[in-house]
Structure 1
Amino acid sequence: MTNVKIGVVGIPGKWSTETLCDAVEARTGFRHVIDMADVSLDLATGALWHGDTDLSTFDGLIIKKISQEYCPHTLDRLEMLRTAEARGVQIFSNPTAILRLIDRLSCTVSLRNAGIPMPDTIVTENRAAALEAVRRFGSAVFKPLFSTKARGMCVLEASSPEADLQREIASFSEENPVMYIQQKADLSGQDLGMVFLGGRYLGTYARVSQTDTWNTTIESGGKYAPFEPDKELIALAEKAQRPFGLDFTTVDVALTPDGPIVFEVSAFGGFKGALEGAGLEAATLYADYVLEKVTS
């Protein structure tokens, strides 16, 4: 199909970005990778410039990755993309929907309001309250509000000397004034990524720990593996992603001795886990989905 211009917002050279671009180019003959660090917004005209290309003239934009790491500035990039949307460009997923997921607290509040089971969580700026949370949980994970893949997270144990806990809480608080504190869950060495496209369930993969680290992320040595969930687990993940209205996402789920819990709904979803763990060509499926939406 020609004359259809679909750009991919992502990190040039990164596997997931380039794989999605390959799939789009194979279907349209058009390729354009957009690093938001190089984009300029002209509010007087509504133009969104990437080099000498006005992105607001495209038929569609797919947001594969908005920045290398999450931070408050990431929200500004999404706001810029809203101007292209206002001029008629279809954006996948909708920037407003993604905005609700970049901030960990926003995602958590939405999930809790939807009745989704999650780890017990305390959010506070008060260091004494944070110390009390550690005592209450026994083992607590301190998480930055803007982070992915367990970056910046730390585990504090109630059994540690109080002076050490106070020092570590103070150190975390210096970087993260609003402290997001979750009870450490028994993951039994794995957690799950449950993949959805347009709200439709596609498949599940597991992230399996290969070390004694507390998390299962690939960056910490975890490996992808197949997993077949039951209908109840699929229904839980479907319910978790529903309020956000994302075009493509992964729901992070853990199976604990007390039942399944949801950690988060991903703003962008993972292609590599879907491929290596579930055998899903997510980039191809996503490109087909977007092209159908743009041309219908």
Structure 2
Amino acid sequence: MINKRIAVIGIPGKWSTDVLANHLEQRTGYRCVVDMADVVLELETGQLRYQDTLLNALDGVIIKKISEDYSPAADDRLRMLSNLEADGVRCFSSPHQVSRLINRLEGTAALAAGGVPLPPTRVTESTAAALEAIQAFGKAILKPLYSTKARGMVVLKAADGEKANTQKLEKFKAKHGLFYLQQFVNLGGQDLGMVFLGGEYLCTYARVSDGKAWNTTIHSGGKYQPYDASPELIELGRKAQACFDLSFTTVDIALTDEGPVVFEVSAFGGFSGAKKGCGIDAAEKLGDHVLSQLETEAATAEAG
């Protein structure tokens, strides 16, 4: 066994959290799943405690899931974890890099700055400007800045008229504040999840719609299938994930008539798609990657 103590930041009882913790326990003999709702940060010392465990004394933590839902509160949890990184505890991925992807605007702005093709996107607080964008796009997706699996997204059509769209926009604004609008992209019934581990390509799976929803998410009835990505497509995914420094991630790509576009890079990546779509145990591979990184760093420090 490898003598390392690594905690999994996740949701106790969730499959993706438990499968990763199980693998680490098999390799190290140590198991610790941390629910951030019960973590205490001592600001005067920078120490984080979870029940009887001092997280600062661990060899590392893997951030598998920061909360059930994305929200500003999830970003606060990441700021707490940044104290671990400052204290020398290796975090996979870095809390700062994960934080850049919790907020949809910051994540896609980084992709745009990196020259990654995206659907045409408009961000505004103005209802009038939002209506103009809907008119220009013909059909748009209104997205909350904090959401996953297409939750809270609204399809808006110019053909529905200004009055109907104004009502939908105002209702959305009352809850979310800012309008983030993307031109509706015809997915052709599927989109792709491209998986990267430590910056290296692992596999690609397709999410195929059941035909009952506009999106392909598993949450809305989609199914995973294998997909043989071309070298050019893999290079696009590599370029997108390289805008961030993540230990494990999934790049969401759509194939459109105008060419492939990237929707987003996942803050955490998913194990289920790799398992069901590609037959790859990504949890095992991530665990092994983390252990290898820690052992290499320890050997380098000892030699130096």
**Fold agreement, TM-score > 0.5:** yes
CA distance in 2, matches of 1:241, 1:264: 9
In 2: Cα distance, 1:210 partner to 1:108 partner: 27
Give TM-score, length-normalised by structure 2: 0.96
Q: Distance in 2 between matches of 1:120 and 1:173?
A: 21
Aligned position for 2:288: 288
Matched, 1:88 2:88: yes
Query: What SS does the aligned partner of 2:147 have?
Result: coil
Q: Note if 1:133 corresponds to 2:133.
A: yes
Match of 2:205 in 1: 205
Q: How far has the Cα of 1:212 moved from its partner?
A: 2.9
| Residues 34-183 of structure 1 aligned to structure 2 (within 5 Å) | 34-183=34-183
TM-score, with normalisation over the residues of structure 1?
Answer: 0.99
Q: Which runs of 5+ in 1 are unaligned?
A: none
Letter of the 2:229 partner, please give it.
Answer: P
Shift, 1:3, TM fit: 3.4
Aligned to 2:300: none
1:177 positional shift: 1.2
1:261 aligned onto 2:261: yes
- AA of the residue aligned to 2:199: G
> In 2, Cα distance between the equivalents of 1:211 and 1:248?
30
User: Which is further off, 183-192 or 154-163?
Assistant: 154-163
Query: What is the count of residue pairs matched by the alignment?
Result: 296
| Counterpart position of 1:191 | 191
Q: How does 1:220-259 map to 2 (within 5 A)?
A: 220-259=220-259
2:25 aligned residue: 25
Q: Distance in 1 between matches of 2:125 and 2:209?
A: 32
In 2, Cα distance between equivalents of 1:60 and 1:169: 44
3-state SS of paired residue (2:40): strand
Counterpart CA distance in 1 for 2:214 and 2:92 is: 33
Q: Percent identity?
A: 55
Q: CA deviation at 1:178?
A: 1.2
User: Which amino acid is 2:175 matched to?
Assistant: E
| Matched letter for residue 88 of structure 1 | G
CA–CA separation in structure 2 for the residues paired with 1:224 and 1:86: 39
Tell me, yes or no, if structure 1 residue 219 matches structure 2 residue 219. yes
Deviation at 1:211, TM superposition (A): 2.1
Root-mean-square deviation (CA), in Å? 0.8
Q: CA deviation at 1:47?
A: 1.3
* Distance in 2 between residues matched to 1:213 and 1:82, nearest whole Å: 38
| Residue aligned with 2:195, SS | strand
Instruction: Tell me the CA shift for residue 2 of structure 1.
Output: 4.6
**Which secondary structure does the structure 2 equivalent of 1:244 belong to?**
coil
Q: Report the alpha carbon displacement of residue 134 of structure 1 after superposing the two structures with TM.
A: 0.7
SS in structure 2 at match of 1:27: helix
Question: Runs of at least 4 residues of structure 1 off by over 4 A?
Answer: none
What SS is found at the alignment partner of 1:237? helix
Distance 1:150 1:2 in 2: 40
In structure 2, distance between residues paired with 1:162 and 1:234: 41
In the alignment, the residues of structure 2 paired with residue 253 and residue 158 of structure 1 have an alpha-carbon distance, to the nearest angstrom, of 25
Quote the Cα distance in structure 1 between the aligned partners of 2:112 and 2:85: 29
In structure 1, C-alpha distance between the alignment counterparts of 2:149 and 2:55, rounded to whole Å: 30
Measure the CA separation in 1 of the matches of 2:105 and 2:93.
20
